Amino acid sequence: MRIPFRLVDVFADAPFGGNQLCVVPETPPELDTATMQALALEIGFSETTFVTAVRPDGYDVRIFTPEEELPFAGHPTLGTAFTLAREGTIGSEAVQRCGAGDIPVLIDLGAGSASMRQLAPRTGRKVEDRAAVAAAAGLEPDDLIPELPIIPVSTGIFHTMVPVRDDATLRRAVRDDRRCAEICAQIEAESLYLFAIRGDGDVRARMFDKGTTIGEDPATGSAAGPLGAYLARHGLIETPGSVVVTQGEQVGRPSFLRVSVERDGDSWALDVAGGVHPWGDGAFEI
């Protein structure tokens, strides 16, 4: 069985930045879950996506890290939508159906970009053990902003928002494998998402994953949307408003995630956008 795939960089303002993605645009119906997981491990990117159906209004997708299937992820959503639009499978507007729900996407092939409207944010329980969180990031409790809570937020998958005092502090953070795994398991979150506000609409972030396979993720759209909700909720940005989240510099893949936030009843409407750069293709032989 020959299964073609495409390779793209997402949340990149230039080729070979952002987060790498492998997209299987036509998944054979006989390809089972175990084999999808094995292929994602073989590729070794943060995520690999498998398009399992195309509908008049969009498509269905399954998303795998090298270790597990996810209900939702950010750069796989944009990269998959862009790939399908580029190949004429979908139009410039579509709805992605994934484990977390339906995600509207917009694709601009000319601009080399895509955006998504994320699901309404949900907030988990406040994390009281600030010392454990700081230690997992190689920091001290005083390196975190004391008046801001550490709290998991989800628009499809939970990431823990960790406000750090300044950019210099964020840069010297070092992921502790064991402690990251322990604290993420305790709070049932995918990662610690450390961030520092550098200016109006300017935030730097670093994502320390719960597992060592990914380690530090270069661009995390599923965390950038929740970060936008967190910033709005705590009055750290004006709404409606936007913020550019810079990520990935420490792992050699500069990434730029553009988040727009506006009030939506008693919640927030969150759009996350970024550049997409196709750079290769191939096929699995099974």
CB 276 within 8 A of CB 9: yes
User: Rounded to the nearest 10 degrees, what angle do helices 221-233 and 74-86 cross at?
Assistant: 120
Q: Please identify which of the residues 30, 42, 47, 140 carries the catalytic annotation.
A: 47
Chain-centre distance of CA 98, in angstroms? 14
CB 48 within 8 A of CB 80: no
Taking alpha carbons only, the member of 40, 85, 89, 31 closest to residue 63 is 40
CB 254 within 8 A of CB 15: no
CB 227 within 8 A of CB 215: no
**End-to-end alpha-carbon separation of the chain, Å?**
5
How far is the C-alpha of 7 from the C-alpha of 197, rounded, in Å? 32
Residue 42 among the catalytic residues? no
Preceding peptide of 240 cis, ω within 30°? yes
Catalytic residues: 47
